[in-house]
A and B are shown apart, each in its own frame.
Chain A
Amino acid sequence: MMRPPPPERTQKTGRARFGGERAAVLVPRRHLSGPVPWVIAIMIALVVIAAAGGLALGNLAKTARGELSGAVTVQIIEANSALREEQAVIAAQLLAQDPAVESLRTVPQAELDELLEPWLGTAEAGNPVPIPALIDVQLRRAASEAEIARLQSLLKRGAPAARVDAQSHWLQPVYSALSAMQYLALTMIALLLLTSVAAVWLAARSSFANHRDTVEIVHLLGGTDKQIARIFQRSVAIDAMLGGIVGLALGAAASWLIARQFSGLESGMVSAGSLAPVDWFVIALIPLLGVGIAMLTARITVTSALRRML
Protein backbone atom coordinates (compact mmCIF):
# COMPACT_ATOMS: atom_id res chain seq x y z
CA MET A 1 0.00 0.00 0.00
CA MET A 2 2.94 2.32 0.60
CA ARG A 3 4.42 1.99 -2.88
CA PRO A 4 2.75 4.22 -5.44
CA PRO A 5 2.35 2.89 -8.99
CA PRO A 6 5.09 3.61 -11.53
CA PRO A 7 5.38 7.32 -12.29
CA GLU A 8 4.23 7.23 -15.90
CA ARG A 9 2.20 10.21 -17.00
CA THR A 10 -0.62 8.36 -18.64
CA GLN A 11 -2.69 11.47 -19.16
CA LYS A 12 -0.22 12.77 -21.72
CA THR A 13 -0.39 9.69 -23.92
CA GLY A 14 -4.10 9.60 -24.56
CA ARG A 15 -5.89 10.93 -27.56
CA ALA A 16 -9.37 9.58 -26.90
CA ARG A 17 -12.11 12.19 -26.88
CA PHE A 18 -13.95 12.57 -23.59
CA GLY A 19 -17.37 12.12 -25.11
CA GLY A 20 -19.99 9.55 -26.00
CA GLU A 21 -20.95 6.91 -23.48
CA ARG A 22 -17.90 7.35 -21.27
CA ALA A 23 -18.75 10.99 -20.67
CA ALA A 24 -22.52 10.51 -20.72
CA VAL A 25 -22.42 8.37 -17.56
CA LEU A 26 -21.69 11.56 -15.63
CA VAL A 27 -25.21 12.81 -16.31
CA PRO A 28 -27.39 9.74 -15.89
CA ARG A 29 -30.82 9.90 -17.47
CA ARG A 30 -33.76 7.77 -18.47
CA HIS A 31 -34.94 8.32 -22.01
CA LEU A 32 -38.57 9.42 -22.37
CA SER A 33 -38.93 9.74 -18.59
CA GLY A 34 -38.78 13.51 -18.58
CA PRO A 35 -41.08 16.00 -20.28
CA VAL A 36 -38.55 17.19 -22.87
CA PRO A 37 -38.97 14.43 -25.48
CA TRP A 38 -42.75 14.76 -25.28
CA VAL A 39 -42.69 18.56 -25.49
CA ILE A 40 -40.40 18.28 -28.52
CA ALA A 41 -42.67 15.59 -30.03
CA ILE A 42 -45.70 17.88 -29.76
CA MET A 43 -43.78 20.86 -31.14
CA ILE A 44 -42.37 18.86 -34.06
CA ALA A 45 -45.83 17.44 -34.83
CA LEU A 46 -47.30 20.95 -34.93
CA VAL A 47 -44.38 22.23 -37.04
CA VAL A 48 -44.87 19.32 -39.45
CA ILE A 49 -48.60 20.08 -39.79
CA ALA A 50 -47.93 23.80 -40.26
CA ALA A 51 -45.17 23.11 -42.77
CA ALA A 52 -47.33 20.62 -44.67
CA GLY A 53 -50.14 23.19 -44.78
CA GLY A 54 -47.79 25.94 -45.92
CA LEU A 55 -46.22 23.77 -48.62
CA ALA A 56 -49.65 22.59 -49.84
CA LEU A 57 -50.88 26.17 -50.05
CA GLY A 58 -47.74 27.12 -51.92
CA ASN A 59 -48.29 24.29 -54.41
CA LEU A 60 -51.92 25.30 -54.81
CA ALA A 61 -51.07 28.94 -55.51
CA LYS A 62 -48.24 27.97 -57.87
CA THR A 63 -50.43 25.59 -59.88
CA ALA A 64 -53.31 28.03 -60.06
CA ARG A 65 -51.03 30.85 -61.17
CA GLY A 66 -49.44 28.61 -63.80
CA GLU A 67 -52.76 27.46 -65.18
CA LEU A 68 -54.43 30.85 -65.16
CA SER A 69 -51.57 33.08 -66.13
CA GLY A 70 -52.49 32.93 -69.84
CA ALA A 71 -56.23 32.32 -69.35
CA VAL A 72 -58.58 35.02 -70.63
CA THR A 73 -62.38 35.21 -70.65
CA VAL A 74 -64.20 37.13 -73.37
CA GLN A 75 -67.80 38.04 -72.56
CA ILE A 76 -70.21 39.33 -75.19
CA ILE A 77 -72.54 41.47 -73.14
CA GLU A 78 -75.44 42.13 -75.45
CA ALA A 79 -79.13 41.86 -74.54
CA ASN A 80 -80.22 41.02 -78.10
CA SER A 81 -79.55 37.32 -78.45
CA ALA A 82 -79.14 37.41 -82.26
CA LEU A 83 -76.56 40.22 -82.07
CA ARG A 84 -74.87 38.45 -79.19
CA GLU A 85 -74.43 35.23 -81.14
CA GLU A 86 -73.25 37.11 -84.23
CA GLN A 87 -70.63 39.07 -82.26
CA ALA A 88 -69.55 35.89 -80.49
CA VAL A 89 -68.80 34.23 -83.82
CA ILE A 90 -66.89 37.31 -85.09
CA ALA A 91 -64.92 37.58 -81.84
CA ALA A 92 -63.98 33.92 -82.01
CA GLN A 93 -62.80 34.34 -85.60
CA LEU A 94 -60.71 37.43 -84.77
CA LEU A 95 -59.14 35.75 -81.77
CA ALA A 96 -58.36 32.57 -83.67
CA GLN A 97 -56.32 34.63 -86.16
CA ASP A 98 -54.31 36.34 -83.42
CA PRO A 99 -50.80 34.81 -83.04
CA ALA A 100 -50.88 35.27 -79.22
CA VAL A 101 -53.87 32.95 -78.89
CA GLU A 102 -52.98 29.32 -78.30
CA SER A 103 -56.53 27.93 -78.13
CA LEU A 104 -60.09 29.09 -77.58
CA ARG A 105 -63.46 27.59 -76.86
CA THR A 106 -66.89 29.18 -77.15
CA VAL A 107 -68.84 27.97 -74.15
CA PRO A 108 -72.10 26.40 -75.38
CA GLN A 109 -75.35 28.04 -74.22
CA ALA A 110 -76.49 24.76 -72.64
CA GLU A 111 -73.36 24.64 -70.50
CA LEU A 112 -73.94 28.25 -69.39
CA ASP A 113 -77.55 27.52 -68.52
CA GLU A 114 -76.49 24.53 -66.50
CA LEU A 115 -73.80 26.57 -64.75
CA LEU A 116 -76.25 29.28 -63.75
CA GLU A 117 -79.18 27.04 -63.00
CA PRO A 118 -78.72 27.07 -59.21
CA TRP A 119 -79.07 30.86 -59.20
CA LEU A 120 -81.33 31.70 -62.15
CA GLY A 121 -83.44 28.56 -62.53
CA THR A 122 -84.06 26.65 -65.77
CA ALA A 123 -84.75 28.21 -69.19
CA GLU A 124 -88.09 26.35 -69.22
CA ALA A 125 -89.13 28.38 -66.17
CA GLY A 126 -89.12 31.45 -68.40
CA ASN A 127 -85.83 32.94 -67.40
CA PRO A 128 -85.89 36.52 -68.70
CA VAL A 129 -82.26 37.40 -67.75
CA PRO A 130 -79.96 37.69 -70.79
CA ILE A 131 -76.78 35.70 -70.27
CA PRO A 132 -73.54 36.95 -71.89
CA ALA A 133 -71.87 34.66 -74.41
CA LEU A 134 -68.53 33.36 -73.12
CA ILE A 135 -65.32 32.48 -74.92
CA ASP A 136 -62.48 30.81 -72.97
CA VAL A 137 -59.13 31.84 -74.45
CA GLN A 138 -55.71 30.42 -73.63
CA LEU A 139 -52.85 32.74 -74.58
CA ARG A 140 -49.32 31.64 -75.38
CA ARG A 141 -48.00 34.18 -72.87
CA ALA A 142 -49.16 35.75 -69.62
CA ALA A 143 -52.31 37.80 -69.79
CA SER A 144 -50.77 41.10 -68.84
CA GLU A 145 -52.73 44.33 -68.71
CA ALA A 146 -51.18 45.44 -72.02
CA GLU A 147 -52.16 42.14 -73.63
CA ILE A 148 -55.73 42.46 -72.35
CA ALA A 149 -55.92 46.04 -73.70
CA ARG A 150 -54.59 44.88 -77.08
CA LEU A 151 -57.20 42.12 -77.35
CA GLN A 152 -59.94 44.51 -76.28
CA SER A 153 -58.86 46.87 -79.04
CA LEU A 154 -58.72 43.99 -81.55
CA LEU A 155 -62.31 43.01 -80.81
CA LYS A 156 -63.66 46.55 -80.66
CA ARG A 157 -64.61 46.85 -84.34
CA GLY A 158 -66.09 43.38 -84.99
CA ALA A 159 -67.61 42.76 -81.54
CA PRO A 160 -68.15 46.05 -79.71
CA ALA A 161 -70.04 44.28 -76.91
CA ALA A 162 -67.00 42.13 -76.09
CA ARG A 163 -65.31 42.52 -72.72
CA VAL A 164 -61.93 40.90 -72.14
CA ASP A 165 -60.82 39.83 -68.64
CA ALA A 166 -57.78 37.95 -67.42
CA GLN A 167 -58.96 35.07 -65.22
CA SER A 168 -56.06 35.58 -62.86
CA HIS A 169 -57.42 39.02 -61.97
CA TRP A 170 -60.57 37.48 -60.59
CA LEU A 171 -58.48 35.16 -58.40
CA GLN A 172 -56.21 37.89 -57.01
CA PRO A 173 -58.06 37.98 -53.65
CA VAL A 174 -57.70 34.19 -53.45
CA TYR A 175 -53.96 34.47 -54.12
CA SER A 176 -53.70 37.13 -51.41
CA ALA A 177 -55.55 34.88 -48.98
CA LEU A 178 -53.30 31.94 -49.84
CA SER A 179 -50.23 34.12 -49.38
CA ALA A 180 -51.50 35.33 -45.99
CA MET A 181 -52.09 31.73 -44.90
CA GLN A 182 -48.57 30.79 -45.98
CA TYR A 183 -47.15 33.63 -43.87
CA LEU A 184 -49.34 32.45 -41.00
CA ALA A 185 -47.88 28.94 -41.34
CA LEU A 186 -44.35 30.39 -41.36
CA THR A 187 -45.10 32.49 -38.28
CA MET A 188 -46.50 29.43 -36.52
CA ILE A 189 -43.37 27.45 -37.36
CA ALA A 190 -41.16 30.26 -36.04
CA LEU A 191 -43.20 30.52 -32.81
CA LEU A 192 -43.18 26.75 -32.30
CA LEU A 193 -39.42 26.63 -32.81
CA LEU A 194 -38.99 29.49 -30.32
CA THR A 195 -41.14 27.59 -27.83
CA SER A 196 -39.01 24.48 -28.39
CA VAL A 197 -35.87 26.53 -27.79
CA ALA A 198 -37.37 27.83 -24.53
CA ALA A 199 -38.28 24.29 -23.45
CA VAL A 200 -34.80 22.97 -24.18
CA TRP A 201 -33.23 25.98 -22.47
CA LEU A 202 -35.25 25.32 -19.31
CA ALA A 203 -34.50 21.59 -19.44
CA ALA A 204 -30.77 22.16 -19.96
CA ARG A 205 -30.65 24.68 -17.11
CA SER A 206 -32.52 22.33 -14.83
CA SER A 207 -30.30 19.39 -15.76
CA PHE A 208 -27.19 21.54 -15.25
CA ALA A 209 -28.44 22.63 -11.82
CA ASN A 210 -29.20 19.01 -10.85
CA HIS A 211 -25.72 17.88 -11.83
CA ARG A 212 -23.86 21.00 -10.77
CA ASP A 213 -21.72 19.17 -8.24
CA THR A 214 -20.59 16.62 -10.84
CA VAL A 215 -19.92 19.43 -13.32
CA GLU A 216 -17.81 21.27 -10.75
CA ILE A 217 -15.79 18.13 -10.06
CA VAL A 218 -15.15 17.51 -13.76
CA HIS A 219 -14.29 21.19 -14.15
CA LEU A 220 -11.78 21.07 -11.31
CA LEU A 221 -10.27 17.86 -12.70
CA GLY A 222 -9.41 19.78 -15.87
CA GLY A 223 -12.56 19.25 -17.92
CA THR A 224 -13.04 21.93 -20.56
CA ASP A 225 -16.27 23.82 -21.23
CA LYS A 226 -16.59 21.99 -24.55
CA GLN A 227 -16.27 18.59 -22.90
CA ILE A 228 -18.90 19.40 -20.30
CA ALA A 229 -21.25 21.06 -22.79
CA ARG A 230 -20.95 17.97 -25.02
CA ILE A 231 -22.33 15.77 -22.24
CA PHE A 232 -25.50 17.86 -21.99
CA GLN A 233 -25.69 18.28 -25.77
CA ARG A 234 -25.68 14.53 -26.20
CA SER A 235 -28.41 14.07 -23.64
CA VAL A 236 -30.58 16.76 -25.25
CA ALA A 237 -29.86 15.38 -28.74
CA ILE A 238 -31.15 11.95 -27.74
CA ASP A 239 -34.29 13.50 -26.22
CA ALA A 240 -34.81 15.66 -29.30
CA MET A 241 -34.23 12.72 -31.64
CA LEU A 242 -36.80 10.57 -29.87
CA GLY A 243 -39.25 13.48 -29.68
CA GLY A 244 -38.57 14.33 -33.32
CA ILE A 245 -39.33 10.81 -34.55
CA VAL A 246 -42.57 10.63 -32.56
CA GLY A 247 -43.51 14.19 -33.63
CA LEU A 248 -42.77 13.48 -37.29
CA ALA A 249 -44.91 10.35 -37.21
CA LEU A 250 -47.81 12.18 -35.54
CA GLY A 251 -47.55 15.26 -37.76
CA ALA A 252 -47.19 13.29 -40.99
CA ALA A 253 -50.14 11.08 -40.09
CA ALA A 254 -52.29 14.12 -39.28
CA SER A 255 -51.24 15.88 -42.51
CA TRP A 256 -51.98 12.76 -44.54
CA LEU A 257 -55.43 12.42 -42.96
CA ILE A 258 -56.26 16.09 -43.60
CA ALA A 259 -55.04 15.77 -47.21
CA ARG A 260 -57.24 12.70 -47.64
CA GLN A 261 -60.27 14.59 -46.34
CA PHE A 262 -59.63 17.45 -48.78
CA SER A 263 -59.08 15.11 -51.71
CA GLY A 264 -62.59 13.81 -51.04
CA LEU A 265 -63.91 17.22 -52.12
CA GLU A 266 -62.85 16.36 -55.70
CA SER A 267 -62.14 20.01 -56.40
CA GLY A 268 -59.50 20.67 -59.03
CA MET A 269 -58.12 23.62 -57.08
CA VAL A 270 -57.77 21.67 -53.83
CA SER A 271 -56.15 18.65 -55.47
CA ALA A 272 -53.55 21.03 -56.93
CA GLY A 273 -52.45 21.61 -53.32
CA SER A 274 -51.25 18.05 -52.72
CA LEU A 275 -47.69 17.46 -51.46
CA ALA A 276 -44.97 16.42 -53.88
CA PRO A 277 -42.16 13.97 -52.89
CA VAL A 278 -39.78 16.89 -52.47
CA ASP A 279 -42.24 18.42 -49.96
CA TRP A 280 -42.26 15.20 -47.94
CA PHE A 281 -38.46 15.26 -48.04
CA VAL A 282 -38.49 18.80 -46.62
CA ILE A 283 -40.94 17.69 -43.93
CA ALA A 284 -38.70 14.73 -43.06
CA LEU A 285 -35.85 17.20 -42.41
CA ILE A 286 -37.85 19.01 -39.70
CA PRO A 287 -36.86 16.62 -36.86
CA LEU A 288 -33.20 16.99 -37.88
CA LEU A 289 -33.60 20.76 -37.75
CA GLY A 290 -35.20 20.32 -34.33
CA VAL A 291 -32.29 18.20 -33.09
CA GLY A 292 -29.80 20.76 -34.37
CA ILE A 293 -31.61 23.66 -32.71
CA ALA A 294 -31.97 21.70 -29.45
CA MET A 295 -28.24 20.82 -29.40
CA LEU A 296 -27.24 24.40 -30.13
CA THR A 297 -29.57 25.69 -27.42
CA ALA A 298 -28.18 23.19 -24.89
CA ARG A 299 -24.62 24.11 -25.80
CA ILE A 300 -25.23 27.85 -25.42
CA THR A 301 -27.15 27.36 -22.15
CA VAL A 302 -24.49 25.15 -20.55
CA THR A 303 -21.55 27.16 -21.85
CA SER A 304 -23.00 30.39 -20.48
CA ALA A 305 -23.64 28.69 -17.12
CA LEU A 306 -20.06 27.38 -17.09
CA ARG A 307 -18.69 30.85 -17.76
CA ARG A 308 -20.07 31.89 -14.39
CA MET A 309 -17.67 29.36 -12.87
CA LEU A 310 -13.95 30.06 -12.91
Chain B
Amino acid sequence: MNDGPGNIVTFDNVGLRYGTDPEVLSDLSFNLFSGRFYFLTGASGAGKTSLLKLLYLAQRPSRGAIRMFGKDVITTPRDELPHFRRRLGVVFQNFRLVDHLSAFDNVALPLRVAGVREAELMRPVAEMLDWVGLTHRAHALPATLSGGEQQRVAIARAVIGRPDLLVADEPTGNVDPDMALKLLRLFEALNRLGTTVVVATHDAHLLQNVSDCLIMRLDKGRLHDPTGALRYPPRTDYKRTATQQAGDKT
Protein backbone atom coordinates (compact mmCIF):
# COMPACT_ATOMS: atom_id res chain seq x y z
CA MET B 1 0.00 0.00 0.00
CA ASN B 2 1.56 3.32 -1.08
CA ASP B 3 1.15 6.80 0.29
CA GLY B 4 -1.41 8.61 -1.85
CA PRO B 5 -1.96 12.35 -2.05
CA GLY B 6 -3.23 13.69 1.28
CA ASN B 7 -2.69 10.33 2.88
CA ILE B 8 -1.25 10.72 6.40
CA VAL B 9 -1.66 7.21 7.82
CA THR B 10 -1.42 3.86 6.10
CA PHE B 11 -2.08 0.51 7.74
CA ASP B 12 -0.97 -2.45 5.66
CA ASN B 13 -2.13 -5.90 6.77
CA VAL B 14 -1.70 -5.01 10.42
CA GLY B 15 -2.39 -7.50 13.18
CA LEU B 16 -2.10 -7.12 16.94
CA ARG B 17 -2.02 -9.68 19.71
CA TYR B 18 -1.15 -9.31 23.38
CA GLY B 19 1.32 -11.97 24.45
CA THR B 20 0.25 -15.37 23.18
CA ASP B 21 -3.46 -14.53 23.11
CA PRO B 22 -5.39 -14.61 19.84
CA GLU B 23 -5.19 -11.51 17.66
CA VAL B 24 -7.37 -8.62 18.84
CA LEU B 25 -6.89 -6.89 15.51
CA SER B 26 -6.49 -8.75 12.23
CA ASP B 27 -5.66 -7.83 8.66
CA LEU B 28 -6.18 -4.09 8.99
CA SER B 29 -5.40 -2.29 5.76
CA PHE B 30 -6.57 1.27 5.29
CA ASN B 31 -5.53 4.89 4.72
CA LEU B 32 -6.45 8.00 6.66
CA PHE B 33 -6.60 11.16 4.59
CA SER B 34 -5.60 14.61 5.63
CA GLY B 35 -8.39 16.90 6.81
CA ARG B 36 -11.04 14.17 7.11
CA PHE B 37 -13.28 13.38 10.06
CA TYR B 38 -13.46 9.67 10.90
CA PHE B 39 -15.63 7.81 13.33
CA LEU B 40 -14.36 4.46 14.54
CA THR B 41 -17.31 2.44 15.72
CA GLY B 42 -17.85 -1.02 17.06
CA ALA B 43 -19.19 -2.84 20.07
CA SER B 44 -17.29 -2.97 23.31
CA GLY B 45 -14.33 -5.32 22.92
CA ALA B 46 -14.25 -4.91 19.15
CA GLY B 47 -10.71 -3.53 19.35
CA LYS B 48 -11.31 0.24 19.03
CA THR B 49 -8.93 1.19 21.83
CA SER B 50 -6.28 -1.21 20.53
CA LEU B 51 -6.50 0.34 17.07
CA LEU B 52 -6.24 3.82 18.56
CA LYS B 53 -3.17 2.73 20.56
CA LEU B 54 -1.53 1.77 17.29
CA LEU B 55 -2.51 5.15 15.87
CA TYR B 56 -1.05 7.17 18.73
CA LEU B 57 2.07 5.02 18.85
CA ALA B 58 1.53 3.51 22.29
CA GLN B 59 1.73 0.01 20.87
CA ARG B 60 3.62 -1.77 18.13
CA PRO B 61 1.66 -4.16 15.90
CA SER B 62 2.46 -7.86 15.98
CA ARG B 63 2.61 -7.88 12.20
CA GLY B 64 2.11 -5.66 9.19
CA ALA B 65 3.32 -2.17 8.41
CA ILE B 66 2.22 1.27 9.55
CA ARG B 67 3.26 4.43 7.75
CA MET B 68 2.59 7.80 9.30
CA PHE B 69 3.31 11.19 7.73
CA GLY B 70 5.18 9.39 4.98
CA LYS B 71 7.46 7.29 7.19
CA ASP B 72 7.40 3.71 8.35
CA VAL B 73 6.93 4.03 12.10
CA ILE B 74 7.57 0.34 12.76
CA THR B 75 11.20 0.53 11.69
CA THR B 76 11.73 4.09 12.89
CA PRO B 77 14.22 4.17 15.79
CA ARG B 78 12.67 4.73 19.22
CA ASP B 79 14.38 8.07 19.72
CA GLU B 80 12.67 9.47 16.60
CA LEU B 81 9.14 8.51 17.67
CA PRO B 82 8.65 11.63 19.89
CA HIS B 83 8.73 13.76 16.73
CA PHE B 84 5.78 11.76 15.37
CA ARG B 85 3.96 11.90 18.70
CA ARG B 86 4.22 15.69 18.75
CA ARG B 87 2.21 15.76 15.52
CA LEU B 88 -0.55 13.76 17.22
CA GLY B 89 -3.20 14.81 19.70
CA VAL B 90 -4.76 12.19 21.92
CA VAL B 91 -7.89 12.33 24.04
CA PHE B 92 -7.77 9.28 26.26
CA GLN B 93 -10.85 7.39 27.30
CA ASN B 94 -10.24 8.12 30.99
CA PHE B 95 -8.77 11.60 30.30
CA ARG B 96 -5.38 10.73 31.87
CA LEU B 97 -4.83 14.20 33.27
CA VAL B 98 -1.86 14.64 35.60
CA ASP B 99 -3.54 14.74 39.00
CA HIS B 100 -1.20 17.16 40.72
CA LEU B 101 -1.11 19.71 37.89
CA SER B 102 -3.72 22.44 37.45
CA ALA B 103 -5.94 22.60 34.36
CA PHE B 104 -3.61 25.27 32.98
CA ASP B 105 -0.49 23.15 33.53
CA ASN B 106 -2.14 20.07 32.05
CA VAL B 107 -3.02 22.00 28.90
CA ALA B 108 0.47 23.55 28.80
CA LEU B 109 2.22 20.19 29.15
CA PRO B 110 2.56 19.35 25.40
CA LEU B 111 4.02 22.79 24.73
CA ARG B 112 6.47 22.49 27.62
CA VAL B 113 7.52 19.05 26.41
CA ALA B 114 8.03 20.55 22.95
CA GLY B 115 10.29 23.19 24.46
CA VAL B 116 8.08 26.28 24.23
CA ARG B 117 9.25 29.05 26.54
CA GLU B 118 7.00 29.98 29.47
CA ALA B 119 6.41 33.48 28.11
CA GLU B 120 5.33 32.07 24.76
CA LEU B 121 2.92 29.47 26.07
CA MET B 122 0.82 31.68 28.36
CA ARG B 123 -1.30 33.14 25.58
CA PRO B 124 -2.06 29.95 23.62
CA VAL B 125 -2.92 28.03 26.79
CA ALA B 126 -5.17 30.82 28.03
CA GLU B 127 -6.87 30.98 24.62
CA MET B 128 -7.30 27.22 24.55
CA LEU B 129 -8.88 27.23 28.01
CA ASP B 130 -11.15 30.03 26.86
CA TRP B 131 -12.04 28.00 23.75
CA VAL B 132 -13.20 25.09 25.89
CA GLY B 133 -14.91 27.45 28.37
CA LEU B 134 -12.65 26.76 31.32
CA THR B 135 -10.87 30.07 31.87
CA HIS B 136 -12.41 30.37 35.33
CA ARG B 137 -11.14 26.88 36.23
CA ALA B 138 -7.57 27.38 34.97
CA HIS B 139 -5.98 26.84 38.38
CA ALA B 140 -8.22 24.00 39.51
CA LEU B 141 -6.80 20.54 40.02
CA PRO B 142 -8.40 17.71 38.01
CA ALA B 143 -9.89 16.15 41.13
CA THR B 144 -11.97 19.29 41.68
CA LEU B 145 -13.28 19.38 38.09
CA SER B 146 -16.47 17.70 36.93
CA GLY B 147 -16.31 14.88 34.38
CA GLY B 148 -17.24 17.25 31.56
CA GLU B 149 -14.65 19.81 32.65
CA GLN B 150 -11.94 17.15 32.85
CA GLN B 151 -12.93 15.99 29.38
CA ARG B 152 -12.59 19.52 28.03
CA VAL B 153 -9.16 19.92 29.67
CA ALA B 154 -8.13 16.65 28.04
CA ILE B 155 -9.35 17.91 24.68
CA ALA B 156 -7.59 21.25 25.13
CA ARG B 157 -4.37 19.41 25.96
CA ALA B 158 -4.76 17.22 22.87
CA VAL B 159 -5.26 20.12 20.47
CA ILE B 160 -3.02 22.84 21.97
CA GLY B 161 -0.14 21.81 19.71
CA ARG B 162 -2.41 21.92 16.63
CA PRO B 163 -1.82 18.26 15.77
CA ASP B 164 -2.02 16.92 12.25
CA LEU B 165 -3.98 13.95 13.56
CA LEU B 166 -6.33 14.01 16.55
CA VAL B 167 -7.29 10.68 18.07
CA ALA B 168 -10.08 10.57 20.63
CA ASP B 169 -11.15 7.46 22.50
CA GLU B 170 -14.80 7.65 23.57
CA PRO B 171 -14.49 11.39 24.21
CA THR B 172 -18.16 11.75 25.03
CA GLY B 173 -18.48 8.64 27.12
CA ASN B 174 -18.57 10.43 30.46
CA VAL B 175 -20.64 13.50 29.66
CA ASP B 176 -24.32 14.30 29.18
CA PRO B 177 -25.78 14.51 25.64
CA ASP B 178 -25.62 18.33 25.52
CA MET B 179 -21.96 18.36 26.53
CA ALA B 180 -21.26 15.51 24.09
CA LEU B 181 -22.63 17.62 21.28
CA LYS B 182 -20.58 20.63 22.36
CA LEU B 183 -17.41 18.54 22.43
CA LEU B 184 -18.21 17.21 19.00
CA ARG B 185 -18.51 20.77 17.72
CA LEU B 186 -15.02 21.42 19.10
CA PHE B 187 -13.65 18.53 17.07
CA GLU B 188 -15.50 19.75 13.98
CA ALA B 189 -14.06 23.23 14.42
CA LEU B 190 -10.58 21.77 14.65
CA ASN B 191 -11.24 19.54 11.67
CA ARG B 192 -12.24 22.57 9.61
CA LEU B 193 -8.78 23.97 10.28
CA GLY B 194 -7.25 20.94 8.60
CA THR B 195 -6.67 18.48 11.43
CA THR B 196 -7.58 14.88 10.65
CA VAL B 197 -9.86 13.63 13.41
CA VAL B 198 -10.48 10.03 14.45
CA VAL B 199 -13.13 9.59 17.12
CA ALA B 200 -13.82 6.16 18.56
CA THR B 201 -17.35 5.84 19.85
CA HIS B 202 -20.14 3.39 20.32
CA ASP B 203 -22.69 6.22 20.43
CA ALA B 204 -24.72 6.00 17.20
CA HIS B 205 -26.29 9.41 17.78
CA LEU B 206 -22.94 11.13 17.50
CA LEU B 207 -22.46 9.86 13.97
CA GLN B 208 -25.64 11.53 12.85
CA ASN B 209 -24.46 14.89 14.14
CA VAL B 210 -21.42 15.28 11.96
CA SER B 211 -21.78 15.89 8.30
CA ASP B 212 -19.13 14.64 5.90
CA CYS B 213 -17.80 12.14 8.38
CA LEU B 214 -16.32 8.80 7.33
CA ILE B 215 -17.01 5.67 9.27
CA MET B 216 -14.79 2.72 10.08
CA ARG B 217 -16.49 -0.14 11.84
CA LEU B 218 -14.59 -2.71 13.84
CA ASP B 219 -16.13 -6.08 14.43
CA LYS B 220 -14.16 -8.72 16.33
CA GLY B 221 -10.89 -7.08 15.37
CA ARG B 222 -11.66 -6.78 11.67
CA LEU B 223 -12.39 -3.56 9.90
CA HIS B 224 -15.49 -2.85 7.82
CA ASP B 225 -15.93 0.07 5.50
CA PRO B 226 -19.61 1.05 5.31
CA THR B 227 -18.96 4.51 3.91
CA GLY B 228 -16.10 3.77 1.55
CA ALA B 229 -13.91 5.79 3.86
CA LEU B 230 -11.04 3.41 3.49
CA ARG B 231 -10.90 3.36 -0.26
CA TYR B 232 -8.68 5.55 -2.31
CA PRO B 233 -10.05 7.90 -3.46
CA PRO B 234 -12.75 7.82 -0.79
CA ARG B 235 -16.37 7.71 -1.90
CA THR B 236 -18.16 11.02 -1.94
CA ASP B 237 -21.71 9.73 -2.08
CA TYR B 238 -21.72 8.02 1.29
CA LYS B 239 -23.11 10.77 3.53
CA ARG B 240 -26.46 10.31 5.23
CA THR B 241 -27.57 6.85 4.28
CA ALA B 242 -24.23 5.25 5.02
CA THR B 243 -23.93 7.11 8.28
CA GLN B 244 -27.35 6.01 9.33
CA GLN B 245 -26.59 2.47 8.20
CA ALA B 246 -23.47 2.42 10.35
CA GLY B 247 -25.36 3.93 13.22
CA ASP B 248 -27.96 1.22 13.00
CA LYS B 249 -25.31 -1.45 13.34
CA THR B 250 -23.59 -0.01 16.42
A residues contacting B by CB (< 8 A) are: 1-18, 22-23, 25-26, 28, 213-214, 216-225, 227, 307, 310
Known: A222-B86, A310-B60. A1 touches B131 (CB 8 A): yes
Mask for B185-202, Cβ within 8 A of A = 1, else 0? 110011001100000000
Sorted nearest first, the 9 A-B pairs with minimum C-beta distance are A14-B116, A222-B86, A11-B114, A5-B127, A222-B85, A16-B117, A14-B115, A222-B82, A11-B161
Q: Given the complex, which residues of B lie within 8 Å of A218, measured CB to CB?
A: 109, 113
Chief secondary structure at chain A's binding surface: loop
Given contact pairs A221-B90, A222-B110, a sample of 7 additional A-B residue pairs in the complex whose CB atoms are under 8 Å apart: A4-B159, A14-B117, A17-B115, A26-B101, A217-B96, A218-B109, A223-B113
Asked if B113 and A5 sit within 8 Å, CB to CB, the answer is: no
Let me know if B21 is at the binding interface, CB within 8 A.
Answer: no
User: How close is B213's CB to chain A, nearest CB, in angstroms?
Assistant: 18
Distance of B164 from chain A, by nearest CB (Å): 10
Q: Is the CB of B124 within 8 A of A224?
A: no
**CB <8 Å contact, B98 and A4:** no
Contacts known (A213-B96, A310-B57, A310-B60); A222 close to B83, Cβ less than 8 A: yes
Q: How far is the CA of A213 from the CA of B92 in the complex (A)?
A: 12
Is there an interface contact between B115 and A18, defined as CB atoms closer than 8 Å?
yes
Number of B positions contacting A (CB below 8 A): 50
Residues from chain A with a CB closer than 8 A to the CB of B132 are: 1
Give Cα distance in the complex from A282 to B178, angstroms: 69
Determine the chain A residues whose CB is within 8 A of the CB of B161 once the complex forms: 9-11
**Quick one: given A11-B161, A14-B114, A217-B98, are A1 and B124 in contact (CB under 8 Å)?**
no
Give a binary string over B166-205; 1 marks a CB under 8 Å from any A CB, 0 the rest: 0000000000000000100110011001100000000000
Contact status B186-A14, CB under 8 Å: no
Cα–Cα, bound, A289→B88 (Å): 41
On whether the beta carbons of A14 and B57 are closer than 8 Å, the reply is no
B131:A4 contact, CB within 8 angstroms: yes
The CA of A214 and the CA of B159, in the complex, are separated in Å by 19
* Contact yes or no, A222 B59, CB < 8 A: no
Task: Give the contacting residue for A3; candidates B109, B116, B157, B189; CB below 8 A.
Answer: B189
Q: Chain B 128-166, CB within 8 Å of chain A: the 1/0 string?
A: 101111000000000000000000000001011110000
A310 to B117, CA, bound (A): 27
The answer to whether B111 touches A14, judged by C-beta atoms less than 8 angstroms apart, is yes
Query: Which residue of chain B has its CB nearest to the CB of A23?
Result: B112
Chain A residues within 8 Å of B235, by CB: none
Contact B79 A224 (CB under 8 A): yes
- A217–B92 Cα distance when bound, in Å, is 10
Task: Determine whether B237 belongs to the interface, using a CB cutoff of 8 Å to chain A.
Answer: no
- Contacting pair A221 B115 (CB below 8 A): no
